[in-house]
């Protein structure tokens, strides 16, 4: 636990929350409920062993922070992650409620999650023995299998979980490489996309390959948006 001021808030709370969830306890020396809540929240956060951090803000001495959070009564508690408020409560809650609040910020890793963190094929298979639908294990193992040219195995595995941007990219790479489409060379990708543009309106297979090719670019690549616009203009 540390005391934070208006001057140190950006570095010690906002920036720090990009590495670990930070709980902010806004209090004042004259506030009775603050004195009740303070030891409780400090105890509970300490039990996370660093997975959550606690800072305290004296609202009398740091009005800018109070104004930023629009604090109307204290104690007021906010949880920040990645620089954004993700949860909050006001008042001296009982320990059970404080514990529930903090637990949501620092879920305990399951044995399967620990295996996923190791990341090799053997560990990921072991994780799926424990949790057959563990999303992290499935996504990581499918990516390994694509690199091993086990395309059908990877695609079958990915069907177990809802599609995300990351897993959609892995599935697209599996389909493209299974069809011997070059995905490692950006110039070849663009060349193929331009060829397919003439067929996307009338050919469903061409549309599907076009979308798969877009996903072969790195996530966030500006060419994805450019070619999506070209696709839309051809379809409509």
Q: Which residues have a catalytic role annotated?
A: 31, 34
Token couple for 70? 């629009």
Question: 137 near 115, Cβ under 8 Å?
Answer: yes
DSSP conformational letter for 16: G
3-state secondary structure 20-82: CCEEEEEECCCCHHHHHHHHHHHHHHHCCCCCCEEEEEECCCCHHHHHHCCCCCCCEEEEEEC
Residue 139 sits at φ, ψ, to 5 deg, of: -65, -45
24-to-104, 168, 176, 226 alpha-carbon distances in Å: 15, 37, 48, 42
């Amino acid at each position: 636990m540390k005391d934070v001021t208006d001057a140190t808030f950006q570095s010690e709370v906002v920036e720090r929350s990009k590495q670990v969830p930070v709980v902010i306890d806004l209090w004042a020396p004259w506030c009775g409920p603050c004195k009740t809540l303070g030891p409780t929240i400090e105890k509970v956060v300490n039990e996370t062993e660093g997975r959550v951090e606690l800072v305290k803000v004296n609202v009398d001495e740091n009005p800018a922070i109070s104004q930023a959070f629009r604090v109307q009564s204290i104690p007021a508690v906010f949880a920040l992650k990645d620089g954004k408020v993700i949860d909050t409560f006001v008042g001296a809650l009982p320990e059970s409620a404080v514990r529930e609040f903090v637990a949501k910020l620092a879920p305990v890793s399951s044995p399967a999650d620990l295996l996923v963190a190791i990341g090799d094929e053997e560990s990921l298979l072991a994780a799926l023995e424990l949790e057959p639908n563990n999303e992290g294990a499935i996504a990581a193992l499918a990516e390994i299998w694509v690199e091993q040219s086990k395309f059908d195995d990877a695609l079958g595995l990915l069907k177990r979980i809802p599609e995300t941007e990351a897993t959609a990219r892995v599935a697209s790479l599996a389909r493209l490489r299974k069809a011997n489409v070059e995905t490692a060379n950006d110039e070849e990708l663009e060349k193929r996309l331009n060829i397919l543009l003439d067929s996307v309106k009338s050919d469903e297979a061409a549309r599907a390959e076009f979308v798969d090719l877009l996903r072969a670019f790195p996530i966030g690549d500006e060419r994805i948006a450019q070619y999506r616009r070209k696709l839309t203009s051809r379809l409509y």
